[in-house]
Amino acid sequence: MIALHSCISLLLTGLYLLVLVYLIKGWAALKRPKPGYGNFITKVTVMIAARNEEERIAFTIDDILAQDYPKHLMEVIFVDDHSTDRTADIIKSYADRGVKLLQLKEDKPLNSYKKKAIAKAIGLSTGDLMVATDADCRMGTAWLSAIVSYYETNDWVMISSPVTYFEERNLFEYMQTLEFAYLIGIGAAFIGNGRASTCNGANLAYRKDVFYEVGGFSGIDELASGDDELLLQKVAEKYPGRIGFLKGREAIVFTHAKHTLNEFLQQRRRWASKSTRYKDKKIVALAVSIWLFNLSLLVNASLGFYDIYFFKLFVLQFLLKYLFEAAFLLPISAFFRRTNLVGLLILIIPVHVIYFVYIGLMGNTRKYLWKGRLVR
């Protein structure tokens, strides 16, 4: 029985290490875009769904309006999702600068208000390229120009771009920044390898005609989350090989880590809730195998209290996980200019193993809170 247990543990470990090698290769395969701004021809719609964001939304609007992209080729649409604070009033105060406001007025409860808001924005838009971000994000002045330049010089139908955390206040938030870089790196690396797995809706662009061609959010609208990754999966099925990741610092969008453990767990449960709905079932199978690997780490650590053999097996798995994850994270953190955070990996791994197993279970079995609503 011990021999069988060891074989399973080592098999799962080997599979995880192969995945990391694949990811390292994928990130390296992504080339930095060549600078080539100017002479733009694409009409762009920047769209943002907002709910109770009065604290930071003005910063986001100011950053978007400060873009160096030609103003006659750019429109900005905010969709207020039944905010109960001053969010809508703040957006309205920018009307004289061309910012459009659409307010949702849904009589019947929905499970996915954000998808409804985005679909409404696209329906109202006049642009050919939809660029989505969130109402609490920050970006540099060349953000939009970088995305459109990448779009116009390649044959992409969808572009995923980098997102990172900033303005961290404590160790918990710094740890989230490193873990988030790992997640962004996974999505980027898969694209670098010619496949599509994950992306982040805080920095996502796609052609409007393609959105309608794949049926928009039809078929995935019963889930609260998934306006980014599940749409990515639909587009990847229709247009394999035509999704790009913009590996350029000018395109980075900045947002904030969660301040409390409860907020963090609710967010991760929301993200996990859509994983089993991916159209590419090979990616679903891969996610399950990674979850099983983390479960084996947890099991072996627990059994180590009763038999030193299992503790040694756990230490071997832990060291291999640490070395390969560090090799994956170093170039990604260098891209974000946050290599100092990789030193936190030794602290993150034990916590990550526990929470990853927990989130894998809870994300697909229970409802969670999002923007003050209980959803699934």
> Whole-angstrom Cα distance, residue 362 to residue 132?
28
- Examine the domain organization and report whether 305 and 266 are in the same domain: no
- Examine the domain organization and report whether 237 and 289 are in the same domain: no
Q: How many CA atoms lie within 13 A of 357 on its CB side?
A: 13
245 by DSSP, 3-state: which? strand
**Looking at the DSSP assignment, which residues form a beta bridge with residue 222?**
none
Q: pTM of this prediction? A: 0.91
Q: What is the pLDDT of residue 3?
A: 81
> Whole-angstrom Cα distance, residue 195 to residue 26?
10
Place of tokens 């100011």: 62
Residue 216's pLDDT band (cuts 50, 70, 90): confident
Average pLDDT of the residues of the chain:
89
Q: What is the pLDDT of residue 53?
A: 94
Q: Return the higher-pLDDT residue of 164 and 359.
A: 164
Residue 29's pLDDT band (cuts 50, 70, 90): very high
Cα-based distances in Å from 249 to 111, 253, 302 = 35, 9, 42
Question: Of 251, 277, 303, which residue constitutes the final position of a domain?
Answer: 277
Q: Return the higher-pLDDT residue of 162 and 270.
A: 162
Q: What is the pLDDT of residue 371?
A: 55
Question: Of 231, 250, 277, which residue constitutes the final position of a domain?
Answer: 277
Structure tokens at 149: 């330049």
- Examine the domain organization and report whether 83 and 175 are in the same domain: yes
- Examine the domain organization and report whether 77 and 176 are in the same domain: yes
Average pLDDT over residues 341-366: 85
- Examine the domain organization and report whether 163 and 292 are in the same domain: no
> Whole-angstrom Cα distance, residue 138 to residue 144?
12
Cβ atoms 317, 297 nearer than 8 A: yes
How are strands ordered across the β-sheet holding 163-165?
138-139, 253-255, 163-165
- Examine the domain organization and report whether 168 and 303 are in the same domain: no
Write out pLDDT tens, residues 170-183. 999 999 999 999 99
227 by DSSP, 3-state: which? coil
Write out pLDDT tens, residues 31-43. 988 776 678 999 9
Q: What is the sign, positive or negative, of the torsion defined by CA atoms of 366, 368, 374, 375? A: negative
Structural domain range at position 22: 2-26+281-375
Q: Return the higher-pLDDT residue of 49 and 376.
A: 49
Q: Is the pLDDT of residue 370 over 60?
A: no
Average pLDDT over residues 346-359: 90
- Examine the domain organization and report whether 296 and 196 are in the same domain: no
Q: What is the pLDDT of residue 270?
A: 75
> Whole-angstrom Cα distance, residue 221 to residue 116?
8
Q: Is the pLDDT of residue 61 over 70?
A: yes
- Examine the domain organization and report whether 301 and 175 are in the same domain: no
Q: Is the pLDDT of residue 273 over 60?
A: yes
Q: Is the pLDDT of residue 369 over 60?
A: no
Task: Count how many domains the chain has.
Answer: 2
305 by DSSP, 3-state: which? coil
Q: What is the pLDDT of residue 115?
A: 85
Average pLDDT over residues 83-92: 94
Domain with residue 215: its CATH number is 3.90.550.10
- Examine the domain organization and report whether 162 and 232 are in the same domain: yes
Q: What is the pLDDT of residue 288?
A: 87
Task: Give, for 265, the enclosing helix (H) or strand (E).
Answer: helix 261-272
> Whole-angstrom Cα distance, residue 347 to residue 325?
13
Residue 52's pLDDT band (cuts 50, 70, 90): very high
Average pLDDT over residues 253-259: 95
Cβ atoms 190, 141 nearer than 8 A: no
pLDDT above 90: percentage of residues in the chain: 70
Structure tokens at 82: 């039944």
Q: What is the pLDDT of residue 218?
A: 84
Cβ atoms 206, 214 nearer than 8 A: no
- Examine the domain organization and report whether 114 and 262 are in the same domain: yes
